[in-house]
Chain A
Amino acid sequence: MPKITWILKDGQEITAEVPLGHNLMEAAVAKNVPNVIGECGGCLSCATCHVYVEPDWYAKTGAPDDMESDMLEITVAERKPTSRLSCQIKSVPELDGLILRVPYI
């Protein structure tokens, strides 16, 4: 299973093995990663699972589609070039080692 690491604003790192096909919001909630909330359950309605993809990895996660990009307009933390909603990133073998930064305190 791909290993995913979340880095919190205070530098704390949380790593989890995420079953293939699961999205990275549900993986974060399952691992109790603070401030990845996913209030809408992953249906692109709340923008509370916002993360910054580590720039080196952005080519592999890819860019948001239109709907996701629109939702990134209302994130609480500033939108950056590698902002994604983690509910829209699925665990796939190519993402083994992926690093996500959680933008909230």
Chain B
Amino acid sequence: MPDPIVILGAGQAGVALAAKLRALGYADGLILVGAEAVPPYQRPPLSKKYVSGELEVERLLIRPRDWYAEQRVELRLNARATAIAPAAHEVAFADGSTQRYAKLALTTGARPRRLPDTIGGALPGVLAIRDLADADVLAPELQPGRNLLVVGGGYIGLEAAAVAASKGLRVTVLEAADRILQRVAAAETSVYFRDLHQRRGVTIREAGALERLEAEAGRVAVAVLKDGTRMKTDLVVVGIGVAPDDDLARVAGLLVENGIMVDGQCCTSDPDIFAAGDCANFPWRGARTRLESVQNAVEQAEHAAAAMLGAVEAYAPVPWFWSDQYDVKLQIAGLNRGYDQVVVRAGKRPGSQSVWYYRQGGLIAVDAMNDALAYAFGKKALESGKTIPPAVAADPAADLKAALA
């Protein structure tokens, strides 16, 4: 029997890769390895419906438990790979076992960046939200009346702030940059979400750098800012971004630079090792790109599956993302990297609005807040390689559908 394909990392990308291999007719052995005890699950609801108690674990599962056997995917849970030997085509695991592979896929994802231990990052009551275990620790901590400090005003931090504020906590979001969402969005989008949170009673503190966290009675109790402010807090959620999980690849001698370097076919610097999802750094529109999203995890993994079976087409996605905060659904199409012009479009419903990003006159991305029509036509334009001119986008009376015809 030939050696199997082994997939390290059982998140959205790992499952999508396995499913696509089977859908394309790959019939030999297939092993999907995950470090956690639970079968692969969706992460986005963790910071939203799961932590707020609306969804139980079974409903987070990407595929039902019996899907793996049906598809002849050997799911190895609680298994941690410790080393890859590319020359021997072999993976070593923490329990001392080894597994040979014909081809290997790395879908290891990303890990939350932590505050350094030296400033209190490891104190009890300081939490991240990345996996189920994190959410299970956070959920019972969200008690009305408590003070929550969210460090980092990105999407994950703002989602946590929204859930906590809705549960009656007193929430402060601390953002080191001049405005929340600075790394990912234009000022117009930042303003929209700052207003949204402030209306719900959340304190947004921008240009506010954390000096350290202090404990009382063995648990985080005070946040000290660089300007000397001392804030009482019962709980800290850290949302300061993620780092690609590329240690195994680096130690194995693969090319790694802000993620595992892959080509358009998702192939790493070793011809029999592929990578996809949050951990992979790929060429896109002339620049090295690493995306942290379900869309990219799924589509790049499917692309990798096809490439492992010999397909040669290059991965050329139209990225999309979403975030839910209170009753606002944010949908993002495209990537705003390098934008030089922004226009705002008022939506047809109260509170609905979209922000359109252009580079050299061409549409590159849309942030749509409770405005699915703007998202839909923005995405359609990007997928078909067309543009919607800034003057049309900015005119709420202009027909987007007609603009694309």
Contacts and interface: CB of A to CB of B under 8 A. Distances in A.
B42 A44 contact: no
A26 B59 contact: yes
Interface string A4-18: 000000000000000
A1 to B, nearest CB: 15
A32 B23 CA distance: 12
B376 A74 contact: yes
A44 B375 CA distance: 11
B331 A45 contact: yes
B31 interface: no
Contacts of A68: 372
Contact of B372 (A22, A30, A41, A44): A44
Contacts of B64: 30
A44 B401 CA distance: 19
A73 B399 CA distance: 13
DSSP majority for the B interface? helix
Which of A41, A46, A66, A71 has the most chain B CB atoms closer than 10 A to its own CB?
Answer: A41
Interface range for A:
20 to 34
A57 B377 CA distance: 29
Interface string A47-82: 100000000000000000011101101100000000
Contact of A70 (B42, B294, B373): B373
A96 interface: no
B250 interface: no
B376 A41 contact: no
B201 interface: no
Given A26-B59, A44-B372, A73 B401 contact: yes
B393 to A, nearest CB: 16
A20 interface: no
Contacts of B401: 73
A41 B44 contact: yes
A47 B322 CA distance: 13
B59 A71 contact: no
B67 interface: yes
Contacts of B322: 40, 43, 45
Contacts of A66: 349, 372
Interface string B45-65: 100000000000001000110
A67 B375 CA distance: 10
A29 B58 CA distance: 13
Contacts of A46: 295, 320
Given A30-B63, A74-B380, 4 more contacts: A45-B331, A68-B372, A70-B376, A74-B376
10 contacts: A39-B295, A41-B294, A43-B322, A43-B324, A44-B372, A45-B331, A67-B372, A68-B372, A73-B373, A73-B401
Interface of A: 22, 26, 29-30, 32, 39-41, 43-47, 66-68, 70-71, 73-74
9 nearest CB pairs, A to B: A70-B372, A70-B373, A74-B376, A45-B322, A73-B376, A67-B372, A30-B64, A71-B372, A41-B42
